[in-house]
Structure 1
Amino acid sequence: MHKINLPSRSVKARALLITRLLAVACLLLFVQTAKANCTANMQQPLVSFGDVDLLNPGTLTTQATVTVTCTKSAARGTAQTFQVCLAADGGQGVADQFTPRYMCLDGASCSTENQFAYNMYIDAARSIIWGTIGRGTQYREMLNTSISFSSSEAARTTKSRELTVYAQLITPLSNVPPGRYTASFSGGSTALAFGTGSSCGSLRALRFPFTVSATVVKNCNVNKPNNIDFGTVNPGDTNLAGSTSLGVTCTSSTPYNIGLKPSNNHTAGAGEMLPVTPGGGNTDRIPYQLRSGSGANGTVWGNTATAAQTGNGVGGTGTGLQQNYNIYATVPSADYHYGDYQDTVTVQVNY
Structure 2
Amino acid sequence: MMKLLQWRYGLLVLPVTLWLSIDSAQADVTCTTSMNTNTVNISNTITPANANDESITGTLTYRCTNSEPSDRYASVCLGVSDSDNSNSLNPRYMTGPNSSRLAFTMTLPNGQPWGDSRDSVYQTPSFLIPSNTTVTDSVVIKFSLLPGFGNTLATQGIYSSDFSVNHKILTYQSNVEPTPFGCETGVYEQNQFPFKVQATVVNTCKINTTSNVLLGSHPASTTNFTGSNNEAINMTCTNGALYNIGLAPSNGDINGQGVMTDTVSKTYKLPYQLLSNPTGTIWGNNGNTYATLTNGVTGQGNGGAQTHTVYVNVPNSDVKPASYSDTVTINVNY
TM over 0.5: yes
Q: Which residue of 1 aligns with 2:115?
A: 131
2:43 aligned with 1:75, yes or no?
no
Does structure 2 conserve the Cα–Cα contact (< 8 Å) formed by 1:262 and 1:344?
yes
| 2-structure distance, mates of 1:176, 1:322 | 14
Secondary structure at the counterpart of residue 188 of structure 1? coil
Does structure 1 conserve the Cα–Cα contact (< 8 Å) formed by 2:32 and 2:62?
yes
2:126 aligned with 1:144, yes or no?
no
Secondary structure at the counterpart of residue 199 of structure 1? coil
Shift in Å, 1:202 = 5.9
Shift in Å, 1:341 = 1.8
Secondary structure at the counterpart of residue 278 of structure 2? coil
Secondary structure at the counterpart of residue 210 of structure 2? coil
Shift in Å, 1:185 = 0.7
Count residues with an aligned counterpart: 302
Shift in Å, 1:327 = 0.9
Distance change (3 Å), C-alpha of 1:264 and 1:328: same
Q: Which residue of 1 aligns with 2:203?
A: 218
- Identify which of 264, 285, 306 aligns with 1:303: 285
Pairs within 5 Å for 1:1-351: 35-50=28-43, 51-55=45-49, 60-76=54-70, 79-91=71-83, 93-94=84-85, 96-105=87-96, 108=97, 110=99, 114-124=100-110, 126=111, 128-133=112-117, 140-146=119-125, 148-149=127-128, 153-154=130-131, 156-172=132-148, 174=151, 175-196=153-174, 197=179, 198-200=181-183, 201=186, 204-245=189-230, 246-278=233-265, 283-295=267-279, 298-309=280-291, 310-351=293-334
Distance change (3 Å), C-alpha of 1:204 and 1:299: farther
Distance change (3 Å), C-alpha of 1:266 and 1:189: same
Shift in Å, 1:340 = 2.0
Q: Which residue of 2 aligns with 1:16?
A: none
Matched residue type, 2:248: K
Matched residue type, 1:37: T
Shift in Å, 1:144 = 1.6
Distance change (3 Å), C-alpha of 1:56 and 1:75: closer
| 1-structure distance, mates of 2:200, 2:256 | 37
- What is the aligned-residue RMSD (CA, Å)? 2.9
Q: Which residue of 2 aligns with 1:5?
A: none
Structure 2 spans left out of the alignment, 5+ residues: 6-16
Structure 1 vs Structure 2: percent identity of aligned residues?
31
Shift in Å, 1:292 = 0.8
| 2-structure distance, mates of 1:304, 1:247 | 22
Distance change (3 Å), C-alpha of 1:171 and 1:203: farther
TM-score normalised per structure 2 = 0.81
Secondary structure at the counterpart of residue 166 of structure 2? helix
Does structure 1 conserve the Cα–Cα contact (< 8 Å) formed by 2:239 and 2:301?
yes
TM-score normalised per structure 1 = 0.77
Where has structure 1 moved over 4 Å in runs of 4 or more?
56-59, 201-205
Secondary structure at the counterpart of residue 244 of structure 2? strand
Structure 1 spans left out of the alignment, 5+ residues: 2-21, 134-138
Distance change (3 Å), C-alpha of 1:308 and 1:61: same
Secondary structure at the counterpart of residue 191 of structure 2? coil
Secondary structure at the counterpart of residue 187 of structure 1? coil
Does structure 2 conserve the Cα–Cα contact (< 8 Å) formed by 1:257 and 1:305?
no
